[in-house]
Structure 1
Amino acid sequence: MSWRRALKDTARSGIAVEKKRLEPLIAVRGAAGLAIVIALSLWLFGPAAAASSAFGAFQAAIATFQRSWRPRPELAIASGTSLAVSTFLGYLTISKEPLFLALLVVWTFAAGMSWAAGPTIGLIASSNVAIMLVTVTLPTSVAQAAGHAAMMIVGGLVQAALIVLFPVRRWGAHRDALADALAAEADYARRLRHDPVASFDPQPLMEARNAAAVTPRQARRRPAELHGARGIAERIRPVLASLADPAMGVPAEGPARDRVRELLASAAALLDAAAHAIRHGEPVKVPPAALATFRTPDTGSILAGAPYRAMTRLNTLLQDVVETAGGAPQDGAPSGARGTARSAETDDRSTSGRAPTHPGARGTARPAPTTRSRPTFLALIPKALKAMRSELRRGSPVTRHATRVSAVAATGYILGTWLPLGHGYWAPLTSVMVMRPDFSQTYSRAVARLAGTVIGVAVATGAVQAASPGTLLSGALAVASAALMYLLMRTGQFATQACIAAYVVFLLGMGGEEWTQTVPERVLLTLMGGFLAMLAYAVYPAWETPRLRTRLADWLAAQGTYAAAVFGSYADPSASNAPDVRQALLTARTARAAWHAAVARATAEPVRHRGLSRTAADDAEDALAQLGRVAMLLEAHLPERGATPVPPAARFADALRESTHQGAKAIRERRVPTWDAVREALDAWETENPENADKVVRNTATLVLDTLTELSEALDTAVPPMTLDGTAPEKPDGPRNPKDSATR
């Protein structure tokens, strides 16, 4: 993509206003906390302290709006406290400009590195640095600075108290995450009716898994319907796929396919009902017709083998998810339904398809339920520091971001101080607020900051000129601007920045500053800060495009490990390898998510593909997605512990694991991977077991080799393959796919 188009696209995304669900009650609660802090500070300390403390309450409320599964009061308190510490340390050094500049560089670099610990921590840390640049100018003595810092902590405590006293949709985010996962599977079931090999995005399941990790305090208060359903949902997905896929035994057309379509439609209806109940905290309204479909007597005569087993397991799982979501036990539910629902919390330690040893063992086949634990906020500190240390290396995107933002903040502060405009902190403040580790967010936020600032300042200036507000009215207008910002925060950066600009104008007006002292210079310095941020990324970038091959290689290695773990389960059913399958699946999902995030960032970057074109990337992505789907089909029918082993599967699993890791290395080195070891293991399988007693497993192994071959063909069209010394080797004569020569 050219620079011109990249700038055009990022500018368009920066000023776009998205249609999102608004949360007015939460916005009112945040504004009420801000009003309480302003009123208390005005009464006790005066306008200057009120302006300073208002920033603490304002930032604390913003922190509670971030996408985080942590309790909201913790976020508010942490935000207010960290801002207080930043402000006090900044005031102690503000009188000595070189010392303050050094503190600004160190503090900004640390804030940039904090993105390694997650976007919520990174945003809070960056906002603290930006707001500190304003608040350090308000106190006039150390005692006042300490008082202002204390009021910032009070602002965080007030916001936390309001969250506890006036909860709005308590557990709402967790309910939404679990409901979204069930709704995604309902949509998947509907799509499978028309496309038996439809793809499924596991992102909703990953979000639900993240939401299921709770602190000890949350674990004691979590609603019952949030227990267990996620684990059942994890096990439903491969069963749906195996029921629909023709490779598992159901013809493409005929009575069996018609019955499968009916079952999938009923499954979608039941999953939607459970999702609606969990989202709204209501009892499940079960569609009677959907349950009746699974009780149709002639299903056993229409379906047989793997499809019938999939139907039976799907029936059990759907009964479980309905009961767990809050529905009454249904007539005809399997005797083990409650045991399955209760034990589903342990799905991180068991695979999705492992059947119990006997029908009556469902309640005892798995370990006792456990809860995924989330560390407390204090326990999170060493984890965050460890994540930051792991990214503190040359070439790390986070380290490059921290270096950029600290250099830009120092440059902006020096230029702002040197220019005869006053309030020079607006330039570094803008830079810190808009800069992010990736290109598209930095540029789109810079455009949104400038456009929003112009609009917000113009509106606020017009209001000030028309009404000439005093201290109380200025404070009220500031609270109204903050309330509007909280309401529109999820709709995009443009609306958010406009509200923030108006908020700052009104708040500083409450402190006694005339609009003529702030408006013109704010616009000019905001323009300077945005320009510095954009220039810094162009000069010292951290492009994602050159790292696409590494992301693809990581995904291949993870998918190969997952598929090998599944085949290993058939090789030795007596082994307790279910945790290995589950962990391999989670690793593969993480690698897939990293690949998609990298592609999204690379698509907006103004750089060439550097070895992996968009077409090659799309084809390789399709091949790896197919590899994961094939492994998932086999996982849906993992054998019982007493089942007959499939010894050739062990050799195939070893070859697959080793070959995919070698293939990942080849991709990183810009070579085309080969699969000779996998093909040899498959040929040996055919030789040792010509009767094909393990037909399903053997056919699945063939599909795995086909997907790997498709991956190589996709990469073979990307760039000329290279040897380790960088020279292009001679390509062999004949077709690239050895299977082609065998079929000709």
Structure 2
Amino acid sequence: MPREFPIGLTPPDWLVRNLRAQPAPVNRPAVIRAAIAIPLPLAIGLATGRPEYGALAAMGALNGVISDTAAAYRIRIPTIAVPQLFSAVGITLGALVYGHGWVAVAAVTGVALVSGMISTIGAVASVSGLLLLLTCVVGAGLPMPGEWWHAPLLMSGGGLLVLLLGLLAWPLRMGVPERSAVADTYRAVADLLAACAVGSTQAYDDARHAVTQSLNQAYDTVLAHRARHHGRSPELTRLLAQLNAITPVVEAAPAAHLSGTPLPPEIPQSVRHLASAVETGCTGPTGLELPAPTTEAARAVDHALRHTAEVVATPDVDPRGIDDRLGRPAALSIRTARALRDVTLSAASWRYGLRLALCIGLAQALVSLIPVPRSYWVALTITFVLKPDFGSVFSRALLRAAGTVAGLVIAAAVLAQVPRGWADVPTLILLAPLIPAFTPRGYGYQTAAITPVILLLSDVLNREGTALLLPRLVDSLLGCAIALVAGYLLWPESWHTRVGDRLADAVDDTARYVEGAFGPHPVDPPARARMRRRLYRNLSAIRTEFQRALTEPPPTGRRAAAWWPLVVAVERIVDATTAARVRVKHGATPPSESEATQVAVQLRELATGVREAETPYAVRTDLTGPADSVLEPLRQEVAAARAITSPHEES
């Protein structure tokens, strides 16, 4: 019999969630790039008699490896190159204030404020802000070798080496990542249609969430630089058309799921066949053999799938109309102006920046008052832990401490057994690939992989050997403590503001979606498609935020768990609305406008309740209408959402 542990010894759920490794495939090209880009600069430095220069360039390559997250080649250029520019600025500013006492404290604190604020713009800006602060802290804490311009030049060169290695295969693999992203979306849709036949609501919900994530990733990959390329790249136009063409199939899936009639297995098999055609770039007849539909839902799926097959088979796509479902892209200058406006006017942007600046300022002031060897490590720890858009501060502090301990064990073995010099190169060849391999597994695993690499490179600069291990552990724990106290426990930011208000906004958007589909002033199909895509993208982001909150201890984790069923319920409401619209399109009787208005009113009341309550509470459900109406499943989902109660509610 399996051994049972006493209830008191069972680890809390939030701790288990934090320590569990995330399943993720290994990015083999990124692993190979890391194995070359980080050791190579050090080898060149050793060969030329300037190992300290090689170590600086290798640190820049490490920054490039951290930035190397994009699949599409044209996305890879700004994703890696732009952060290197900020890295050069950061190391220059840090080096200029090195040894200047409180001037250095003020300068690094100001850079922390800017870093936190620009992190809210987007993924590239987030990594740029991270490297800006990291390199500024290093420059302010370590004496840089050579002239003032050597360090930024060497670190930028190391990062650009990663970019160069990442672009080597572009002439041979041009368009392959984009086609793979679209094909993966088709396969996710095939899994969704297969889940319609299983009869399991949980399996369908999981498959629908996977489709949302895949669509988000595919659109982000294909639409990179759309304002510059759109209308001039036939390949890009085809991929956009193919992504748009799968949308009606996704919209028809809820109708098939709610119908209760399993789809024939030929349906998901046909979608997988189309996915193969997309991935290989084949055009021409697809040879699909679809069974004759017998229900409204089956007719909707059949009609949508045949349209998708036509688009996949078409070699030349008219670029006009592609924007109908996506919205027209704004010019680069307009997007930049909007981003700057959002950064300077957003309360969240200032809140993130001030929180990061407060903690960095405290760390810099502390190490200025108390002599701490290599004090920059305290601020480095805070930078990684308190990066506001990277997840739960509590979780990252916990995982940072655990990952640092694991990384120091590896570093101790390396520094004690491996002689300094050329032996460092094969050691880095073995250690560097662990960074991209472990990063998708979780922050603790990433920390454990980065720690020995950065300590080995630091040892090349300061030659302290194993003597730096214990101070690094103390510095890391001190940084985690500052982040937890000043950036988490004392910061006036409630769970409800971070998560509850975003969920309430999504419920309000759902009410507008219902009115846009069936209200007195319905919107056209392309606008409806944009509303649905925006809703699902927002709900996907809310899911991610909830999962972060679930890793925090009570009361935050408990509140997130209490509200979690409502997130699922809102997704099902969106599905039910889409299913009803599809049924009407394929022959069902349209509902009255009053039915849709009634549902929208109930949703807005629910949104108000979410904004005002810290825990879920039961609310009245006053939804009536014909039992045979296409909106009956929607009314049931809204009633279920409004009936979600707190565990402490009186019966």
TM-score by length of 1: 0.73
Q: CA deviation at 1:520?
A: 2.4
Distance in 1 separating the partners of 2:10 and 2:367: 29
Q: Is the 8 A contact 1:545 1:602 kept in 2?
A: no
Q: Is the 8 A contact 1:475 1:510 kept in 2?
A: no
Q: Is the 8 A contact 1:474 1:510 kept in 2?
A: no
1:261 paired residue number: 263
Q: Secondary structure at the match of 1:228?
A: helix
2:393 paired residue number: 442
Q: Which of 299, 318, 322 lines up with 1:345 in the alignment? A: 322
Relative to structure 1, is the Cα distance of residues 75 and 662 closer, same or farther in structure 2, using a 3 angstrom cutoff? same
Distance in 2 separating the partners of 1:533 and 1:644: 57
1:714 paired residue number: 644
Q: CA deviation at 1:423?
A: 0.7
Q: Which of 539, 552, 570 lines up with 1:605 in the alignment? A: 552
Q: CA deviation at 1:272?
A: 1.9
Relative to structure 1, is the Cα distance of residues 308 and 611 closer, same or farther in structure 2, using a 3 angstrom cutoff? closer
1:465 paired residue number: 416
Relative to structure 1, is the Cα distance of residues 448 and 626 closer, same or farther in structure 2, using a 3 angstrom cutoff? closer
1:237 aligns with 2:232: no
Q: Deviations over 1:642-697 (max 9, x none)?
A: x9996x73444455445533542344234876676x75xx5xxx8xxxxxxxx9xx
Q: Which of 298, 303, 306 lines up with 1:316 in the alignment? A: 306
Q: Secondary structure at the match of 2:64?
A: helix
Relative to structure 1, is the Cα distance of residues 317 and 39 closer, same or farther in structure 2, using a 3 angstrom cutoff? same
Q: Is the 8 A contact 1:662 1:673 kept in 2?
A: no
1:292 paired residue number: 289
Q: Is the 8 A contact 1:422 1:521 kept in 2?
A: yes
Q: Is the 8 A contact 2:196 2:256 kept in 1?
A: no
Q: Which of 130, 146, 150 lines up with 2:149 in the alignment? A: 146
Q: CA deviation at 1:148?
A: 1.5
Q: Deviations over 1:161-197 (max 9, x none)?
A: 3322234965565445423322222122112123297
Q: Percent identity?
A: 18
Q: Is the 8 A contact 1:196 1:244 kept in 2?
A: no
Q: Is the 8 A contact 1:560 1:656 kept in 2?
A: yes
Q: Is the 8 A contact 2:396 2:443 kept in 1?
A: yes
Give the gaps of 5 or more residues in structure 2: 1-7
Q: Which of 528, 531, 537 lines up with 1:581 in the alignment? A: 528
1:700 aligns with 2:651: no
Q: Deviations over 1:409-467 (max 9, x none)?
A: 22223333444441111111111112243796433333333333333333333333334
- Specify the code of the residue in structure 1 equivalent to 2:116: G
Q: Secondary structure at the match of 1:117?
A: coil
Relative to structure 1, is the Cα distance of residues 50 and 307 closer, same or farther in structure 2, using a 3 angstrom cutoff? closer
Q: Is the 8 A contact 2:325 2:527 kept in 1?
A: no
1:628 aligns with 2:574: yes
Relative to structure 1, is the Cα distance of residues 64 and 380 closer, same or farther in structure 2, using a 3 angstrom cutoff? farther
2:340 paired residue number: 385
Relative to structure 1, is the Cα distance of residues 711 and 718 closer, same or farther in structure 2, using a 3 angstrom cutoff? farther
- Specify the code of the residue in structure 2 equivalent to 1:50: G
Q: Is the 8 A contact 1:549 1:667 kept in 2?
A: yes
Q: Which of 209, 220, 224 lines up with 1:214 in the alignment? A: 224
Superposed, 1:665-684 pairs within 5 Å as 665-670=608-613
- Specify the code of the residue in structure 1 equivalent to 2:310: D
- Specify the code of the residue in structure 1 equivalent to 2:505: D
Relative to structure 1, is the Cα distance of residues 436 and 208 closer, same or farther in structure 2, using a 3 angstrom cutoff? same
Superposed, 1:408-557 pairs within 5 Å as 408-437=359-388, 441-470=392-421, 472-478=422-428, 480-536=430-486, 537-540=488-491, 542-545=493-496, 548-557=499-508
Q: CA deviation at 1:68?
A: 8.7
Q: Is the 8 A contact 1:51 1:508 kept in 2?
A: yes
Relative to structure 1, is the Cα distance of residues 609 and 8 closer, same or farther in structure 2, using a 3 angstrom cutoff? closer
Q: Is the 8 A contact 1:231 1:344 kept in 2?
A: no
Q: Which of 48, 51, 72 lines up with 1:47 in the alignment? A: 51
1:593 aligns with 2:523: no
- Specify the code of the residue in structure 2 equivalent to 1:474: D
Relative to structure 1, is the Cα distance of residues 316 and 428 closer, same or farther in structure 2, using a 3 angstrom cutoff? same
Q: CA deviation at 1:244?
A: 5.2
TM-score by length of 2: 0.83
2:5 paired residue number: none
Distance in 2 separating the partners of 1:144 and 1:489: 34
Superposed, 1:57-456 pairs within 5 Å as 57-65=61-69, 71-139=75-143, 144-167=147-170, 171=175, 174-195=178-199, 198-199=204-205, 200-201=208-209, 202-216=212-226, 219=230, 220=233, 222=235, 226-243=239-256, 245-246=258-259, 257=261, 261-262=263-264, 265-279=265-279, 281=280, 283=282, 291-294=288-291, 299=292, 303=294, 306-307=296-297, 309-310=299-300, 312-320=302-310, 322-323=312-313, 345-346=322-323, 348=325, 373=329, 381-391=336-346, 393=347, 396=348, 399-437=350-388, 441-456=392-407
Relative to structure 1, is the Cα distance of residues 409 and 273 closer, same or farther in structure 2, using a 3 angstrom cutoff? same
Q: CA deviation at 1:20?
A: 2.7
- Specify the code of the residue in structure 2 equivalent to 1:234: T
Q: CA deviation at 1:628?
A: 1.8
Give the gaps of 5 or more residues in structure 1: 247-251, 327-337, 350-369, 687-694, 721-735, 737-744
Q: Is the 8 A contact 1:139 1:145 kept in 2?
A: no
Relative to structure 1, is the Cα distance of residues 434 and 638 closer, same or farther in structure 2, using a 3 angstrom cutoff? same
Q: CA deviation at 1:235?
A: 0.6
Q: Which has the larger radius of gyration?
A: 1
Q: Deviations over 1:291-348 (max 9, x none)?
A: 3343xxxx47xx36x3564254145235236526x9xxxxxxxxxxx87x97783451
1:649 aligns with 2:592: yes
Q: CA deviation at 1:11?
A: 5.2
Distance in 2 separating the partners of 1:523 and 1:611: 32
Q: Is the 8 A contact 1:34 1:58 kept in 2?
A: yes
Distance in 2 separating the partners of 1:716 and 1:422: 51
- Specify the code of the residue in structure 2 equivalent to 1:181: T
- Specify the code of the residue in structure 2 equivalent to 1:504: I
Relative to structure 1, is the Cα distance of residues 22 and 602 closer, same or farther in structure 2, using a 3 angstrom cutoff? closer
Distance in 2 separating the partners of 1:609 and 1:507: 39
Q: Secondary structure at the match of 1:210?
A: helix
Q: CA deviation at 1:270?
A: 1.4
Distance in 2 separating the partners of 1:712 and 1:644: 27
Distance in 1 separating the partners of 2:36 and 2:560: 52
Distance in 2 separating the partners of 1:547 and 1:503: 35
Relative to structure 1, is the Cα distance of residues 375 and 292 closer, same or farther in structure 2, using a 3 angstrom cutoff? same
Distance in 2 separating the partners of 1:410 and 1:374: 38
- Specify the code of the residue in structure 1 equivalent to 2:604: H
Q: Secondary structure at the match of 1:700?
A: coil
Q: Is the 8 A contact 1:53 1:149 kept in 2?
A: no
Q: CA deviation at 1:229?
A: 1.8
